[in-house]
């Protein structure tokens, strides 16, 4: 079985989760940024990850999912600044399910990821009060994803791979 882990990551959080997943996988495997993946041909399973941006899937990742996941075994992982359990997350997982409706979706993993300082600085200067409020949340995200969250990501990898057997 050949498994791909691919991701978009601007400040490294989603990459950390990707590496945790990758480390746990058995069998033949590859890990690469989504910009280096042409399609999912040759893979039996793909883990696809991204940071939530502007309250949704980043457009580049959305088009990748739309164009490449039909009939494929996939699992999706995402990082976001809001704490786990926030109501908004349901709309993001809903958006994923809708986007990959023609794929065999084996699971979705999500966890908090630190807001980088330059992002906090930018958000605090924003006119939009929603964006500003985001910036104020910055310090509470420090250090995420932490070891506990990475442990959950590893378990997710194992659970998804077990579904393939």
Ligand X SMILES: Cc1cc2nc3c(=O)[nH]c(=O)nc-3n(C[C@H](O)[C@H](O)[C@H](O)COP(=O)(O)O)c2cc1C
Size of interface with ligand X, in residues (CB under 6 A): 20
Tokens of 42: 């040759």
Q: Should residue 59 be labelled a site residue for ligand X when binding is judged by CB under 6 A?
A: no
Q: Should residue 6 be labelled a site residue for ligand X when binding is judged by CB under 6 A?
A: no
Report 102-161 residues binding ligand X (CB under 6 A): 113-115, 119
Residue among 69 and 79 whose Cβ is closer to ligand X = 79
Residue among 41 and 128 whose Cβ is closer to ligand X = 128
Q: Mask of contacts with ligand X, 62-101, x by CB under 6 A?
A: -----------------xxxx-------------------
How far is residue 7 from each of residues 1, 56, 66, 106, 133, measured CA to CA in Å? Answer: 20, 15, 15, 17, 27
Output the CA angle 123-64-1, nearest 5 degrees: 120
* Region near ligand X per CB under 6 A, out of 8-16, 22-30, 66-74, 96-104: 8-16
Is the Cβ–Cβ distance between 150 and 19 less than 8 Å? no
What is the smallest separation between the CB atom of 102 and ligand X, expressed in angstroms?
26
Rule CB under 6 A: choose which of 36, 38, 42, 54 binds ligand X: 54
> Dihedral through CA 12, CA 113, CA 137, CA 108, nearest 10?
140
Q: Should residue 53 be labelled a site residue for ligand X when binding is judged by CB under 6 A?
A: yes
List the strands of the sheet with 73-80, edge to edge.
Answer: 28-33, 2-7, 45-51, 73-80, 104-112
CA-to-CA distance for 61 and 114, rounded, in angstroms? 20
Question: Footprint of ligand X on this chain (CB under 6 A)?
Answer: 9-15, 51-55, 79-82, 113-115, 119
């Amino acid at each position: 079985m050949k498994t791909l882990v691919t991701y978009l990551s601007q400040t490294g959080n989603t990459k950390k989760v990707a590496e945790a997943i990758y480390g746990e996988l058995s069998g033949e495997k590859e890990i690469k940024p989504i910009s280096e993946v042409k399609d999912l041909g040759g893979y039996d399973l793909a883990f696809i990850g991204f940071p939530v941006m502007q309250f949704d899937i980043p457009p580049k990742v959305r088009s990748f999912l739309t164009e490449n996941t039909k009939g494929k075994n996939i699992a999706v992982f995402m990082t976001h600044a809001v704490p786990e359990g926030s109501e908004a997350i349901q709309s993001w997982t809903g958006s994923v399910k809708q986007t990959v409706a023609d794929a065999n979706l084996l699971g979705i993993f999500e966890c908090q990821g630190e807001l980088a300082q330059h992002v906090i600085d930018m958000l605090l200067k924003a006119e939009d009060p929603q964006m500003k409020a985001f910036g104020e949340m910055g310090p509470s995200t420090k250090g995420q994803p932490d070891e506990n969250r990475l442990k959950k990501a590893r378990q997710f990898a194992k659970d998804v791979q077990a579904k393939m057997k």
